[in-house]
């Protein structure tokens, strides 16, 4: 009898593990396909061999410039930024136990945007300064929202409402900075208001790549604690998780990742919001959905950028596409949460 039930539990666990491996594998494969598509497609479609030769450093007439200078940075920016947005968004959503509590809705990405616009458009700096400034701004936004929403008693609803207010102010600030920076040209405006991969350059990428390689592993390792935190404060403490330390470390890592990603591509709308719930639905309960969420984020950004570039007569920046996809999902989620009385 006892053996039977243990076997039953083990079987269930094996099944879930198989599902997790299958889902993660498929998502990774999809990312790879989308990355290849980003390199192959464009105004001119070069033969596959030419693209590979261009990537390996040979000089190929035309293809070298298009692939190495335009398409490769664009692909890498989309891949890494999407991964960062996905993981960081999922961390916030899981930790605060509410899919609405994510950096897109409560204004953290807007905070990083303000700092990045200020550094790039007004001070004309680049590289590490921009990354550091946007990380500081992102952390400051988080702290501000937390302090303001603490009040007499903490409530997640209050935090979300205050976040929406802060976001409105920060977005106004971005518009103002774009105006006085005399960078009224549309590419810059799109990049900082909705997020865009246009004009990504190779030398902007190192901070983004570095931050993903440093902070993503931290979040993945802490992912086990994350799913325990989701059970609530008391259960987590009694299961031996140092809740405060874990939480601070998780928030710090997520904000660093998302701020640097925002400084590179702009706040690509709704990716941080969408990735977590999609990954959760794919993976199911019981297994950490940190890595799947990151992969979903990367796939979303790459796919939306491809759609924006090639599906319509006009070229749309990636943020417009993710906005059109993401906002209806937000409405759908609200309808479901309202019906269940979760808000």
Q: How far is the CB of 274 from another protein (least distance, A)?
A: 12
Is residue 137 within the footprint of another protein (CB under 8 A)? no
Q: Is 89 helix (H, G, I), strand (E, B) or coil?
A: helix
Distance CA 89, CA 100 (A): 10
Per-residue exposure over 215-239, b if at least 16 CB sit within 10 Å of its own CB, e if not: bbebbbebbebbbbbeeeeeebeee
Q: Which of 52, 136, 140, 148 binds another protein (CB under 8 A)?
A: 148
Is residue 306 within the footprint of another protein (CB under 8 A)? no
Q: Which of 53, 158, 205, 218 binds another protein (CB under 8 A)?
A: 158
Is residue 164 within the footprint of another protein (CB under 8 A)? yes
Q: Which of 121, 117, 119, 114 is nearest to 137 (CA)?
A: 114
Backbone angles phi, psi at 336, to 5 degrees: -65, -45
Among positions 186-205, residues that touch another protein (CB under 8 A) are 186, 194
Distance CA 261, CA 112 (A): 9
Is residue 313 within the footprint of another protein (CB under 8 A)? yes
CB 333 within 8 A of CB 276: no
Residue 128 or 147 having the CB closest to another protein: 147
Residue 220 or 325 having the CB closest to another protein: 325
Residue 181 or 286 having the CB closest to another protein: 181
CB hemisphere CA count around 284 (13 angstroms): 12
Contact letters for another protein, residues 87-126 (x by CB under 8 A): -------------x----x---------------------
Q: How far is the CB of 69 from another protein (least distance, A)?
A: 25
Residue 90 or 149 having the CB closest to another protein: 149
Q: Which of 52, 122, 140, 173 binds another protein (CB under 8 A)?
A: 173
C-alpha distance from residue 201 to each of 74, 123, 308 (Å) = 7, 19, 19
Sorted by sequence, the CB contacts under 8 Å of residue 254 that are 6+ apart come out as 87, 88, 91, 92, 103, 215, 219
Is residue 149 within the footprint of another protein (CB under 8 A)? yes
What DSSP state is assigned to residue 202?
G
Contact letters for another protein, residues 259-278 (x by CB under 8 A): ----------xx--------
Is residue 311 within the footprint of another protein (CB under 8 A)? no
Integer Rg of the chain from CA: 21
Distance CA 284, CA 323 (A): 25
What DSSP state is assigned to residue 140?
H
Q: How far is the CB of 109 from another protein (least distance, A)?
A: 13
Q: Which of 3, 43, 61, 153 binds another protein (CB under 8 A)?
A: 153
Binding region for another protein (CB under 8 A):
100, 105, 148-149, 151, 153, 155, 157-158, 160-162, 164-166, 168-169, 171-173, 175-176, 179-180, 184, 186, 194, 269-270, 312-314, 316, 320, 323-324, 326-328, 330-331, 334-335, 338-341, 343
């Amino acid at each position: 009898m006892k053996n039977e039930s243990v076997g039953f539990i083990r079987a269930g666990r094996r099944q879930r593990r198989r599902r997790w491996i299958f889902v993660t594998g498929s998502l990774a494969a999809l990312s790879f396909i989308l990355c290849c598509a980003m390199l192959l497609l464009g105004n001119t479609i070069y033969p596959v061999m030419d693209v590979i030769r261009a990537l390996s450093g040979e000089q190929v007439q035309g293809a070298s410039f298009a692939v190495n200078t335009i398409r490769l940075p664009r692909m890498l920016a989309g891949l890494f930024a999407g991964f960062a947005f996905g993981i960081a968004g999922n961390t916030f959503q899981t930790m605060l136990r509410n899919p609405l509590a994510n950096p897109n809705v409560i204004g953290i990405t807007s905070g990083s945007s303000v700092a990045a616009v200020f550094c790039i458009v007004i001070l004309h700096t680049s590289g590490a300064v921009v990354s550091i400034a946007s990380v500081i701004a992102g952390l400051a936004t988080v702290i501000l929202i937390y302090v303001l929403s603490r009040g007499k008693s903490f409530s997640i609803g209050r935090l979300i409402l205050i976040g929406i207010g802060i976001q409105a102010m920060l977005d106004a600030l971005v518009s103002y900075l774009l105006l006085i920076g005399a960078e009224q040209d549309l590419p810059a405006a799109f990049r900082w208001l909705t997020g865009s991969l246009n004009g990504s350059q190779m030398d902007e990428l190192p901070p983004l790549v570095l931050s993903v390689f440093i902070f993503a592993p931290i979040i993945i390792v802490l992912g086990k604690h994350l799913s325990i935190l989701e059970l609530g404060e008391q259960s987590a403490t009694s299961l031996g998780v140092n809740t405060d330390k874990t939480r601070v470390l998780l928030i710090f890592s997520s904000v660093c990742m998302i701020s640097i990603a925002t400084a590179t591509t702009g706040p690509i709308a709704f990716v941080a919001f969408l990735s977590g719930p999609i990954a959760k639905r794919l993976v199911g309960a019981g297994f950490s959905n940190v890595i799947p969420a990151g992969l979903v984020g990367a796939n979303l950004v790459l796919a939306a950028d491809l759609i924006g570039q090639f599906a319509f007569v006009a070229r749309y920046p990636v943020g417009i596409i993710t906005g059109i996809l993401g906002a209806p999902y937000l409405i759908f989620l609200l309808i479901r949460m309202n019906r269940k009385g979760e808000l």
